[in-house]
Structure 1
Amino acid sequence: MNDDPYAQYGFTKDALIEAVRLGEGRFTKRELAKALKLKGDQRSGLKLALRELEDGGEIRKNEQKAYELADQLPTVTVVEVIDRDVDGEFICQPVKPELQGPKIILKPGERTRGPAAGIGDKVLARLTPMTGEDGYEASVIKKLGQSAHKILCVLRDNTRGPARLVPVDRRSRHELVPARGETGKAEDGDLVVVRIASERRHGLKTALIDEVIGRADSARAGSIIAMAEHGVPDGFLDSELKQVDAIKPVTMGDREDLRDIPLVTIDPVDARDHDDAVWAAPDDDPKNKDGWIVMVAIADVAAYVTADSPLDKGARARGVSVYLPDRVVPMLPERLSNDLCSLREGEERPCLAVRMVFDRNGNQIGHRFIRGWMRSAAKLAYEDAQAAIDGAGTGKAETLLEDVLKPLWGAYETLRQARKRREPLEIDAPERKVIVGEDGRVQGVRLRERFDAHKLIEEMMIQANVAAATALEAKNTPLIYRIHDEPGSEKLDNLADFLPHVGLKWTRGERPTAARFNTLLKASQPTDHYETVNEVVLRSQSQAVYDTDNIGHFGLNLAKYAHFTSPIRRYADLTVHRALIRAYNLGSDGQSDSERSQLQRIAEDTTQNERRAMAAERDATDRFIAAWLADRVGTEFAGRITGVTRFGLFVRLHETGADGLCPVSRLGQEYYVHDETAHALVGQSSGGRYRLGMAVTVRLDEATPVTGGLLFDILTPPEPGKPLKGHGRPRDKYERRGSPRAKKHNARRKR
């Protein structure tokens, strides 16, 4: 008897995977059906099988909507030469971000017509799996020329020799030397953008200085470096500014008049733009007893940013606004983001609103989208709204308590009951805010407080996003969804392997659900491992993305979800607004045929722009905190181990949330073995261990603002334990960095 679940459809799992492999990323569902010679109902089985293999992380869909094996790279692809390894071999990475990850080495002795490929070059390469180890060898088919690969460095004068260019990326291992005549372009301590001038197998590479972008010791260098390093666009093109200057404010026209509805904005106290307003009231429909009406009004950006205009193209290229500790890099010019498209208190503004109806159990039973004309009744901070509800209100918040705030909280209480039944993922991940003064210097780091006022706005925005996706599906209108896949099998296996070490378990084979993760988090709450389990569960999750193919949102436990509520700062939301305008005949400035045909590309670009913004925000925060801690070198701090690798321990400080590294070479004379399953470094002789989540005291040994790097010495002794079996002294001369043998080897290489 054949136990293959797909045999009933006329093919086996092995046959399907082999067809995907042979397709080399070119076979869509239709080509796979042809390869397997499927007909009629068998094709529906193929759709089911592909979805299951994709959910299980065995295959993936590329940008051409074709399938490829998740653990294999295409046979032929374009790669960029990005570095040399310790043995002098070239390291490459695919140009396409979704293919990056596996190790790729340029095949030794590869030559092309003309100069050999070097760092910064792009080549069309044939990839072959390496024998006996993970990764690929790249054979050059054709050199495509010098890429736009640039490096951000600090120029450092050297009194005993030529100047040096020190990369600001803490992962970069090699300094550069300015090419002849280049040092006159900058001064000692300047931040400079450089590109490789010449490539050598041994010795330092030379570089050309393309641009001086500031001083490395300036108070705001953290943001300048992060923006340059990640390619965050800053400023606007002349064509965009010209269009902004020519804009005339929208008039009411035939929009629905919402000015009598006391919509209010509730935002952080330092917010400068206000793109959403809310209002709620009991439903007076006798058929919906104890139900609620909730209205969410969003700034009508589509009224000003027309399709394919300079502003539209610029917003699409930026994708999102970027929020750095000392500044905001907006997606739209200030006249729009802080004026015409900001729902300012007492000022009339165009909006796109959704009027939602909820029953007594918090279920959304109806909605209607409105092209409206509104006037915000008040601008409130979260703290003010919460204080009024808690009986300590003052000013505007107290004045609006009975007629506006209490109905909002009444509706939220009903929505919260529905949220509890839905059981979205409830990871406890505290956020910290870096406080920067007007001079650009850090004044402190504080934990972001989270009130019910925050949760109220969050839940009402979620419900508006659900309504947008539902409404567009009802009209068969293409749209960009916000999707979040369930965790892959490999991440779940890692989670299941780790949990027994903290007295918990995860049953393999059962489908993951948000509720299962919540049960696990609740079980860990009374223990010392709560923060650790939260960290591990968070790392097990997939990243949310934008896509035109809806698979639902795992974390929110929603079947339909599309971003609608922030078109000032997210381009995906603007596309949803335009889709709604077209689908419901709300104006002539809706989704164009051209935009409709490009939605998938827009979704992919916006996802990448969002990742770019997140990386820049994270790195800028690290640099600002490192600058703040630079004066406290030698100070002891309480922290917790948040990462364990073979080369050291990552520690997060309780006071600031800053992350730093304690290299394994600083753990004493004993050799430590990395136990991947237990997420621990274990002493080879004593069995003493440093494990993930362990509370430790550290001394700050080094803080480098230009890279954001922190180095710690751990003062807490390891926890007692037993040595790992089968782990003798390693013979690999590279394995223990910091050992006498490794230092001797590195010194010999430098000579």
Structure 2
Amino acid sequence: MPRKPRPDDALPFPTREAVLRFITEHPTRATKRDIAKAFDVKGEARVGLKLLLKELEGEGLIERHAKRLSQPGALPPVLVCEVVSRDAEGDVFAEPVTWDEENGPPPKLLVLAKAGRRQEGGINPGIGDRILGRITDMPRGYEAVARAAVRPIKLLDRRPEGIMGVVRLTAGGARVSPISKKQHHEFVIDTEHLNGAEDGDLVTLDVHRAGRYGLPQAKVRERVGSMKSEKAVSMIAILANEIPYVFPDAVIAEAEAAPAASMAGREDWRDLPLVTIDPADAKDHDDAVHATPDPDPANPGGVIVTVAIADVAAYVRPGSALDKEALKRGNSVYFPDRVIPMLPERISNDLCSLKEGVDRPALAVRMIFDESGHKRRHSFHRVMMRSAAKLAYQEAQAAVDGRPSERAAPILETVLRPLWDAYAVLSRGRAAREPLELDLPERKVLLKPDGTVDKVVTPERLDAHKLIEEFMIQANVAAAETLEAKRSPLVYRIHDQPSLSKIESLSDFLQTLDLKIAKQGSFTAGIFNRLLTKVENHPNAQLINEVVLRSQSQAEYSPLNIGHFGLNLRRYAHFTSPIRRYADLIVHRALIRALGLGDDGLPTGIEERLERIAADISAAERRAMQAERETIDRLIAEWLSDKIGATFRGRIAGVTKAGLFVKLADTGADGFIPASTIGADYYAYDEVRHALVGSRTGETYQLGDTVDVKLVEVAPLAGAMRFEILSDGRSGRPMARSRLRSSLRHPDRSGERNAPRKTYGPRRGR
């Protein structure tokens, strides 16, 4: 569109990009007058500027609020925000209380304050406080740590419900040490304000006085429980990892108001005897299975396998309060005796739980395999089903092994044996595919009625577990294949092959055991499997399994497919657990849209957001795993805190320059042995052999070695233990001088790589 010419002596007319940049960088000074002044637009040229701004507004690149211009999704000039953190330099940060998740995660706002001084106007907000603030220009140097700056106008209220800590009784009162890393000071509590809390209890606080000097004073609002209990310990992990655990009222209201799904648009599969097979203590049942021989004479020995998954998409609509909260959580988080669910119980434990004998909506896939386990074809269906039986893994296995329960006996021949026959067929296909087969048993913490640790066990790995796992893998593959064929956007579950540097490190380590693996070429999971099969009876078989595991990449979610190395699959997407994983809900919606199964599929424009969503749910998964590990660490540490001086048998599970990590045989608990406490020699770190080697004697402590240790220190709040080693190391030769100098010269970068990995709790989806 032509614009009026400018006088020769004026500045060049601003470009579209320059105007947009100005609006972004000056959130409080972005009216047409401000822009004209900034670019020296005068006289008749103002008409051209007006037309330019109308163009930008018409294209949706800017919005107009009265006279103020802003980009879509920009922060309003005045807003209510909550103070969420303070960094080591004393800078305070907040987030908007109300924020549309469609515009991304809540932005981080710098609360303008000078360290050690009150805010202007006498406002001195602390963590948990809500303030009315005005957006202002960002000070220089803060652009990388916050999106915008906010100047407090008014302190609205204090919201200290996020403050939780451990009571430590003192003379005349108590102090509380906060468990959040964001809070850098203790709280003082008078005796009359302890509310029944005792020394060592985990409590929540109400802060009732916080002056400029001294520690803030508080009252105990609630006694969560003894630090010895799982409830208290898991709550620490929940808050420390910032895991949302309280559903907003709007989310609960939406869940409670949800009506049961109808038969509209569904196939009637209620006569098909699908069964659920889950852990004995499972509260929700989101997958059901069925199998039968294929009657097609062209497929002798073939089977038809059906997997039905709870139709969560029928209740959790895109953009709803339930949907936004589910995305925020990313997944359910599992602790030894509790679950922080992704969806409220009304959805997860009721409407979407495939209860025995109850009509439930489902999204099902029917797959046909030939006798070699190769899939011939599959189809997806939106159905209404009715579970024929709810079985535990052990119950289903016992029935097939000849010990049927009263519940399993009627369906043994008609339902269970065909399932096991189909599993035998699929196992042939799995063997031909050669997924990575690591022998790393999982451990599970069992609790007493009071929430304290009873014992740690290694559950038996049954064919029932393997059957369900393989059926779910095949359903996930079918979902990815269908959506690729339909050219639909989706979130893949990807697992990259090991990096060249990790392969080189693994190869160097194996050479120390006279074993070989190629350092170059095309790697497959089968190469690792052949190595692991070769060393099954090797004295260091467990060690080799762990080193192979540490060479692997971490699985994650992505809209871009690179395949799944561990499962040896070209395409793979999570479809089978939409109750507890947001990634699966996306895949369900994609199938609904791609196959025309309803109007509640993927929304238009989701493609532009999938990369960010995939990154968010991958981070949520890592956050959940971290919280679960920390809870186990703290529970075990507290459990063993009264056994100082006791001796244990264990195995070296990690080696760093600083010392040894030892995993106890009976409990799987981890502790640390500083290198400085090992013998009278100086022990250098041999990165290739994953070992500490005496510089004079050659005495060697290597990853995987069995050792006796004594417990000398326990820190339950940190979940840490320190051991003293009692066993002598294996005989060896001192490191060559060149390697010894290298180990001394280079800082240890192996701590994270060699840190022990825990495998407690329920199995996670691959």
TM-score class, shorter-chain normalisation, is 0.7 to 0.9
Q: CA offset at residue 153 of structure 1?
A: 5.0
Task: Give distance in 2, aligned partners of 1:694 and 1:702.
Answer: 22
Structure 1's unaligned 5+ residue stretches are 1-79, 85-89, 91-111, 128-137, 199-203, 736-751
Q: Which residue of 2 aligns with 1:154?
A: 166
Q: CA offset at residue 241 of structure 1?
A: 0.8
Using the TM superposition, name which of 556-565 and 487-496 deviates more: 487-496
Conserved in 2, the CA contact under 8 Å of 1:176 and 1:207?
Answer: no
Conserved in 2, the CA contact under 8 Å of 1:627 and 1:705?
Answer: yes
Q: Which residue of 1 aligns with 2:337?
A: 326
Q: Deviations over 1:542-597 (max 9, x none)?
A: 11111100110000000010100000100110111111111111111111114343
User: After the TM superposition, which residues 352-367 of structure 1 pair with which residues of structure 2 at under 5 Å, given as runs?
Assistant: 352-367=363-378
- Residue type of the alignment partner of 1:519: R
**1:271 is the counterpart of 2:282:** yes
Conserved in 1, the CA contact under 8 Å of 2:564 and 2:571?
Answer: yes
Distance of aligned partners of 1:158 and 1:686 in 2 relative to their CA distance in 1, 3 Å threshold? farther
Q: CA offset at residue 362 of structure 1?
A: 0.8
Q: Which residue of 2 aligns with 1:667?
A: 678
- Residue type of the alignment partner of 2:413: E
Distance of aligned partners of 1:144 and 1:701 in 2 relative to their CA distance in 1, 3 Å threshold? farther
Three-state SS of the structure 2 residue aligned to 1:406 is helix
Q: Which residue of 2 aligns with 1:618?
A: 629
Distance of aligned partners of 1:180 and 1:277 in 2 relative to their CA distance in 1, 3 Å threshold? closer
Q: Which residue of 2 aligns with 1:178?
A: 186
User: After the TM superposition, which residues 480-629 of structure 1 pair with which residues of structure 2 at under 5 Å, given as runs?
Assistant: 480-629=491-640
Distance of aligned partners of 1:478 and 1:691 in 2 relative to their CA distance in 1, 3 Å threshold? same
User: After the TM superposition, which residues 270-289 of structure 1 pair with which residues of structure 2 at under 5 Å, given as runs?
Assistant: 270-289=281-300
Distance of aligned partners of 1:290 and 1:312 in 2 relative to their CA distance in 1, 3 Å threshold? same
Q: CA offset at residue 142 of structure 1?
A: 11
Q: Which residue of 1 aligns with 2:400?
A: 389
Q: Which residue of 2 aligns with 1:468?
A: 479
Using the TM superposition, name which of 471-480 and 250-259 deviates more: 250-259
**1:217 is the counterpart of 2:227:** yes
Q: CA offset at residue 707 of structure 1?
A: 2.0
Greater Rg by CA? 2
Task: Give distance in 2, aligned partners of 1:141 and 1:323.
Answer: 32
Task: Give distance in 2, aligned partners of 1:525 and 1:455.
Answer: 20
Conserved in 2, the CA contact under 8 Å of 1:193 and 1:209?
Answer: no
Task: Give distance in 2, aligned partners of 1:142 and 1:367.
Answer: 48
Q: CA offset at residue 621 of structure 1?
A: 1.4
Q: Which residue of 2 aligns with 1:707?
A: 718
Conserved in 1, the CA contact under 8 Å of 2:177 and 2:186?
Answer: no
Three-state SS of the structure 1 residue aligned to 2:404 is coil
Q: CA offset at residue 670 of structure 1?
A: 2.5
Q: CA offset at residue 83 of structure 1?
A: 5.7
Distance of aligned partners of 1:417 and 1:508 in 2 relative to their CA distance in 1, 3 Å threshold? same
Q: Which residue of 2 aligns with 1:346?
A: 357
Q: State how many pairs are aligned.
A: 608
Residue 405 (structure 1) aligned to one of 416, 428, 433: 416
Q: Which residue of 1 aligns with 2:427?
A: 416
- Residue type of the alignment partner of 1:516: I
Q: CA offset at residue 361 of structure 1?
A: 1.2
Q: Which residue of 1 aligns with 2:659?
A: 648
Distance of aligned partners of 1:728 and 1:350 in 2 relative to their CA distance in 1, 3 Å threshold? closer
Q: Which residue of 2 aligns with 1:317?
A: 328
**1:635 is the counterpart of 2:635:** no
Distance of aligned partners of 1:574 and 1:728 in 2 relative to their CA distance in 1, 3 Å threshold? closer
Three-state SS of the structure 2 residue aligned to 1:288 is coil
Q: Which residue of 1 aligns with 2:65?
A: none
Q: CA offset at residue 521 of structure 1?
A: 1.2
Conserved in 1, the CA contact under 8 Å of 2:186 and 2:216?
Answer: yes
Question: Cα RMSD between the aligned structures?
Answer: 3.7
Three-state SS of the structure 2 residue aligned to 1:593 is coil
Q: CA offset at residue 222 of structure 1?
A: 1.4
Q: CA offset at residue 232 of structure 1?
A: 1.2
Conserved in 1, the CA contact under 8 Å of 2:237 and 2:628?
Answer: yes
User: After the TM superposition, which residues 199-210 of structure 1 pair with which residues of structure 2 at under 5 Å, given as runs?
Assistant: none
**1:227 is the counterpart of 2:235:** no
User: After the TM superposition, which residues 50-449 of structure 1 pair with which residues of structure 2 at under 5 Å, given as runs?
Assistant: 115=115, 153-157=165-169, 166=177, 177-178=185-186, 189=200, 191=202, 214-215=224-225, 217-219=227-229, 220-449=231-460
Conserved in 2, the CA contact under 8 Å of 1:216 and 1:706?
Answer: no
Using the TM superposition, name which of 531-540 and 682-691 deviates more: 682-691
Task: Give distance in 2, aligned partners of 1:357 and 1:324.
Answer: 37
Q: CA offset at residue 604 of structure 1?
A: 1.1
Distance of aligned partners of 1:731 and 1:244 in 2 relative to their CA distance in 1, 3 Å threshold? closer
- Residue type of the alignment partner of 1:647: A
Task: Give distance in 2, aligned partners of 1:613 and 1:587.
Answer: 33
Task: Give distance in 1, aligned partners of 2:457 and 2:608.
Answer: 45
Q: CA offset at residue 140 of structure 1?
A: 10
- Residue type of the alignment partner of 1:390: D
- Residue type of the alignment partner of 1:364: K
Q: CA offset at residue 267 of structure 1?
A: 0.6
Q: CA offset at residue 341 of structure 1?
A: 0.4
Q: Which residue of 2 aligns with 1:3?
A: none
Distance of aligned partners of 1:728 and 1:262 in 2 relative to their CA distance in 1, 3 Å threshold? closer
Task: Give distance in 2, aligned partners of 1:141 and 1:259.
Answer: 54
Using the TM superposition, name which of 493-502 and 461-470 deviates more: 493-502
Q: Which residue of 2 aligns with 1:697?
A: 708
- Residue type of the alignment partner of 1:154: V
Distance of aligned partners of 1:328 and 1:139 in 2 relative to their CA distance in 1, 3 Å threshold? closer
Q: Which residue of 2 aligns with 1:455?
A: 466
Task: Give distance in 2, aligned partners of 1:548 and 1:594.
Answer: 14
Task: Give distance in 2, aligned partners of 1:464 and 1:472.
Answer: 12
Task: Give distance in 1, aligned partners of 2:145 and 2:254.
Answer: 46
Q: CA offset at residue 404 of structure 1?
A: 0.6
Q: CA offset at residue 629 of structure 1?
A: 2.0
Three-state SS of the structure 2 residue aligned to 1:396 is coil
Q: CA offset at residue 503 of structure 1?
A: 2.6
Conserved in 1, the CA contact under 8 Å of 2:697 and 2:732?
Answer: yes
Task: Give distance in 2, aligned partners of 1:475 and 1:466.
Answer: 14
